[in-house]
Structure 1
């Protein structure tokens, strides 16, 4: 059975990640895994200083530096265990009494890639603890994860509110149709009102494509489905509509196959992640 994997750290988003992971786990009835990764790039397991100084008289100094590095890794490991325990308590307060606690030492993106075969949805905060810029920025690890992994990823800003209304960004592309097919059949958003938003020219063809998408949703039991066709810049139009309609979750496809499409859609995705005040669920084909 595939798991819901929530990545926690010492950032402001850790609580939101726990809350989002708990909500998803209960909605889709899948086990919740709380994951803490001790990133090798930040906390190397050991430091090889041989040859750095080149003088035998400095051997003692090299040994002390190596010991300090090992101690730093041990402290980080213990801190990670404490963070996992706090996360366990938080999800218990939301009804998840037996989450799996998992701690790994390795490169962050590689670790997630190793786990993705058993991951149904990966939950991440918009910023990690190693990112010290403004609240609107996104962490470098997050961009790498989105570009590398093929599983579904939910990215949450600090503060998570259980979604009551959902926005699905729809452009009738093959990717969007696949996302529509999956989300319409998923228990994740069953019973929640949906808004299908297409950003493009107000043509009869686009109206027809939106209507077909609405009928597909309704055929799968989603009776409260609103469609909207708006013109304008993708990011600003989508986010403006989300705020106007007070929608709590954005669902969209991420990336395509061609390098050109990957760049364009990737840029759109990054901007949306930076500016959105609500979680975004990214789905791949």
Structure 2
């Protein structure tokens, strides 16, 4: 069965991520699955200083450093287990019947890709804990995740509340059409006021595509407000979001080739860096 895969790491964003996961699980009537990964961090043990033995370093000190690393690993495992137990209990107390949790060693993105066949939605924080803490920061993995994940990704800022409105950033390109179709077919955003917003670009027949997109949303029963704007894409989208008090934004992931993004940047990443509301990225 498909699940709401919710990534937690013990950062200050954990509460918001858990709230977003509970909201999505209720909206989609899917099981809620919390995951916590422990990644291999840079260690200062024997592996790093083996070359120093020949310079007179004491092997007993290297052994002590190795033991400290092992203790840190055990502590991270214990803290993660307690965190998972706590959030799972919170979700059950909130009325969610099907709640799962598990912990893994390894890369968070690899773990999420392995779970794709079981995934309806990925919920993850925009940034993780700092590198001086025991839990690996997951924010640094976001671009990799967005490029690899085939399922929708809900990226959560430091605070989350159930949205009453959302905005689709529409540019008429293939990625935007796929995103639109997933909004139409899914249930996560149904029943919420929809704003369909396009910024004039070089896409052929953009206005016609825009009108067709609006008609499809209305036909599906959504309350739709449309806006066709001109100007800088990111600036105009942010202005519209603020002026209309939009609670959540929807975008297609990476509408251009990697080569073009190298020179002109990515609107997806720019919006992620700019907006302070949840962002749903769809491939």
Give the Cα–Cα distance (whole angstroms) in 2 for the partners of residues 122 and 163 of structure 1. Answer: 17
* 2:229 aligned with 1:230: yes
- Cα distance in 1 for partners of 2:204, 2:104 equals 53
Pairwise CA distance, 1:50: 7.6
d(CA) in 1 for partners of 2:116 and 2:265?
A: 20
- The equivalences for 1:37-48 within 5 A come to 37-41=37-41, 48=47
Tell me what 2:161 maps to.
161
The corresponding residue for 1:135 is none
Report the TM-score when normalising by structure 1.
Answer: 0.87
Q: Cα RMSD over matched residues? A: 2.7
* 3-state DSSP of counterpart to 1:95: coil
- Equivalence map 1:105-124=2 (5 Å): 105-124=105-124
Tell me: CA distance 1:240–1:43, structure 2 relative to 1, closer, same or farther (3 Å): farther
Distance, in Å, in 1 between the alignment partners of 2:244 and 2:202 is: 20
Matches within 5 A, 1:140-159: 140-159=140-159
- 1:14-65 Cα offsets, whole Å, 9 max, x none, are 1111011111111111111101111113579x96468333258723222211
Distance in 2 separating the partners of 1:34 and 1:43: 27
Q: Counterpart of 2:135?
A: none
Q: Deviations over 1:116-148 (max 9, x none)?
A: 23222111111100268xxxxx93222232233
Partners of 1:47 and 1:69 within 8 A in 2: no
Question: How big is the shift at 1:265?
Answer: 8.1
The answer to which of 141-150 and 268-277 deviates more is 141-150
Match of 1:85 in 2: 85
Q: Would you say the 8 A contact 1:169–1:196 is kept in 2?
A: yes
Measure, in 1, the Cα distance between the counterparts of 2:46 and 2:151. 34
| Long gaps (5+) in structure 2 | 133-137
Q: CA deviation at 1:205?
A: 4.8
Bigger CA drift: 66-75 or 138-147?
138-147
CA 1:131–1:51 in 2, change beyond 3 Å: closer, same or farther?
closer
Gaps of 5+ in 1: 133-137
* Distance in 2 of aligned mates of 1:258 and 1:204: 18
Structure 2 residue 251 is the aligned partner of structure 1 residue 252: yes
TM-score normalised to the size of structure 2?
0.88
What is the SS of the residue equivalent to 2:249? strand
Q: CA 1:246 to 1:42, structure 2 compared with 1: closer, same or farther past 3 Å? A: farther
1:1-285 maps to which residues of 2 (within 5 A)? 1-41=1-41, 48=47, 51-55=50-54, 58-130=58-130, 139-200=139-200, 205-222=205-222, 224-256=223-255, 258-263=257-262, 267-284=266-283
Partner deviation per Cα, 1:49-89 (whole Å, 9 max, x = no partner): 68333258723222211111111100011111121122223
After TM superposition, give the deviation of residue 264 of structure 1 in Å: 6.9
Aligned length: 277
The separation in 1 between residues aligned to 2:165 and 2:249, in whole angstroms, is 9
